[in-house]
Amino acid sequence: MQLTLLHQDSELVIADKPSGLLSVPGRGPDKQDCVVNRVKEFLPDIIAQPAVHRLDMYTSGIMLLARTRNAHRELSRQFEQRRVHKRYVALVQGVINETEGEIRLAFRLAPDNRPYQVYDPIQGKPGITRWKRLGVEGSFTRIEFTPLTGRTHQLRLHAAHPKGLGAPIVGDRLYGDGKEGGPMCLHASRIAFHHPKDGRPFKITSEIPF
């Protein structure tokens, strides 16, 4: 699981996370290998908590980290104000006939089955995702997702649930039939924001591995 740095400057680092690598350290010595700790080894002067956002363990692609406290504060503000625009590409199971759409589903954590999320229109919090079909590849469909909210497992649940696409992401072991430890075909392919140092528009893309 090689970690590639797509960009680095005095304020931020952009990593290309492989599927299967944690974003941040977990509990226990077996969960310390992650994007944050690998970047710390390479850049020991980075702040203690540099992650501005996270990707699921089996999601690959672009992850943004701040090198300074000021950069972390500014980038976090942009996330809170929904000024950071992210795009993902996925392969889903089955053929999607529609060309594009928007999914609005409220969901919440299942306390007895963490980290599984369940659809709950009453107590759940809304998640909103725009999607576009990029092409049909045999029995799979390639989809571009643009999340407008940043809920846990949002794209995975929106893809799999019957009220969403009804088509689980290939390799998703929680919401589909993916195998434990196997790769999942969900990749954070593009991110756009304003640079925390001077406010200039900044965007970067990552090559899709599937």
Residues with catalytic roles: 56
- The candidate with the shortest Cα–Cα distance to 147, out of 72, 73, 79, 206, is 79
Confirm if 186 and 88 have CB atoms less than 8 A apart: yes
Confirm if 193 and 52 have CB atoms less than 8 A apart: no
For residue 110, report the phi and psi dihedrals to the nearest 5 degrees: -90, 105
Q: 71 in helix, strand or coil?
A: helix
Assign residue 82 a region: left if phi > 0, alpha if psi is -120 to 50, beta otherwise?
left
User: How is residue 169 annotated by DSSP?
Assistant: B
- The candidate with the shortest Cα–Cα distance to 58, out of 165, 168, 202, 163, is 168
Facing residues of 109 across strands?
A: 117
